[in-house]
Amino acid sequence: MENKRESWGSKTGFILAAAGSAIGLGNIWKFPYIAGENGGASFIIVYLICIAVIGLPVLIAEILIGRTTQRDPVGAFRKLSNSKFWASVGGMGIVGGFLILSFYAVIAGWALGYIVEALKGSFFNFTEPTSSANYFNDLVGNIFWNLGYFILFMLITAVIVWAGIRKGIERGSKIMMPILFFLLIILMIRGLTLEGAENGMKFLWDPDWSKIGPQSVLIALGHAFFTLSLGMGAMLTYGSYMSKKTSVPNSALQIVFLDTLIALIAGIAIFTSVFAVGLDPAAGPGLIFHTLPSVFIKMPGGYIFSILFFVLLTIAALTSSISLLQVVVSYFVDERGWQRHRAVIVLALVISILGIPSALSFNVLADFKIFGLNFFAFVDFIASNILLPLGGLLISIFVAWVWGFDKALVNLREGAEKLFDNNPWVIKFWKIFLRFFAPVLIFLVLLHSIGILDKIINMFS
């Protein structure tokens, strides 16, 4: 079963693919709007601290587990612990992969559909400030539009994963990531050269600490997980195709650097534009779909920039969705002995079916509520707010207390000998963060997600 496992063709290929997984809708859709809602600069500083103190240590742990075992998440935990409980923690990641992709592809489908709208010049028909939001609501209210682009996006994801690790995911990332960087830089320059751009920069870089409370700290930490693709074995799976000669800490650092850089550049591109035309930075999840089209129509060259923006968004979503599908595929190939192509077709189909109620949550199923949430929001909540932090918590506990640092460090040293010999303090920090900070802080995020913490905070305020 193990003889012909795939692997990355090069270190750069791995870094670009893993950065591709991390950089996605989370950076370009979610980060700007949560930063906008939580006060801009001060929130960004808290977010950066969360990334460094929790995100990086957990990312190193995930990649290391994958590289050491060369297995899918279930096989990896089983191999290191020989325990059914820990294997089921890997299983939780597989379930997370199914769930996240099923709703992620719905939003990605909107991005794809918006490329077509941008090409048609639809935004230029808007006459009133509310037209853009109404237009968006009409589109997502249309079953065929919503389902059609969702299925199309799933199909493109499946084709890339079908082609394999090197020929599909690695090659796709090597082509798409440079395009993504290039487009984003163009959009940032466009934003910065608009009149009034400095107000957007002020919003991003001038901290207003009065806006930061326990709630926004927890949101920042939760987002650190989502944006780095942590907590469900995506990075573990990518790490499992990695060579032992490649340094895990260095790779993790590069992935974190790229992910953060892109989030910040996306923030600059979006807020300079939003402020330049005097729109509300706290518009919420609709920020890029409602607000940006009205920004584009007021901006010189807006037609071209609107197309570039939605192409960029679709590419970012695609390099993440392939990692989600790959997690699920790797389990069925490694553990169930399925043939890869069959796994891709069957699983993409299952996820497409699972995603239908999410896609219909904006039209025919709009009134169908589970715990007060529509189906889409419910799946998003369970996966992003419960499964990911829980996965992250268990992964840090696993490395720190079950697998044990001694064994983990022997494996971590491979490929990172220079770092171990020259800067041993880095490793000490990793241990401290993983053993204490990560579990405690993630536990708080989890409580917050379940709403318990909110009640406690309200009791004291």
Which residues bind to ligand PFF, rule: CB under 6 A? 21-22, 24-27, 100, 226-227, 229, 232, 234, 320, 323-324
> Strands 369-370 and 373-374, how do they pair?
antiparallel
Measured CA to CA, the distance from residue 359 to residue 105 in angstroms comes to 9
Please say which residue, 272 or 320, places its beta carbon nearer to ligand PFF. 320
**Region label for 256, one of left (φ > 0), alpha (ψ between -120 and 50) or beta (otherwise):** alpha
The dihedral over CA atoms of 394, 397, 400, 404, expressed in degrees to the nearest 10, equals -80
DSSP symbols for 21-73: HHSSHIIIIIHHHHHHHTTTHHHHHHHHHHIIIIIHHHHHHHHHHHHHHTS-H
Please say which residue, 163 or 313, places its beta carbon nearer to ligand PFF. 313
C-beta of 28: minimal distance to ligand PFF in Å?
Answer: 8
C-beta of 320: minimal distance to ligand PFF in Å?
Answer: 4
C-beta of 229: minimal distance to ligand PFF in Å?
Answer: 4
Please say which residue, 39 or 222, places its beta carbon nearer to ligand PFF. 222
Strand segments, DSSP code E, in 290-404 are: 369-370, 373-374
The three-class DSSP label of residue 370 is strand
C-beta of 153: minimal distance to ligand PFF in Å?
Answer: 14
**What would the two tokens of residue 216 be?**
């926004």
C-beta of 324: minimal distance to ligand PFF in Å?
Answer: 5
Residue 298, number of CB atoms within 10 A of its CB: 13
Please say which residue, 321 or 352, places its beta carbon nearer to ligand PFF. 321
Rg (CA), the chain: 21
C-beta of 425: minimal distance to ligand PFF in Å?
Answer: 29
Please say which residue, 77 or 123, places its beta carbon nearer to ligand PFF. 77
On whether the CB atoms of residues 347 and 325 are closer than 8 A, the answer is yes
| Residue in the shown chain whose Cβ atom is closest to ligand PFF | 26
Please say which residue, 126 or 181, places its beta carbon nearer to ligand PFF. 181
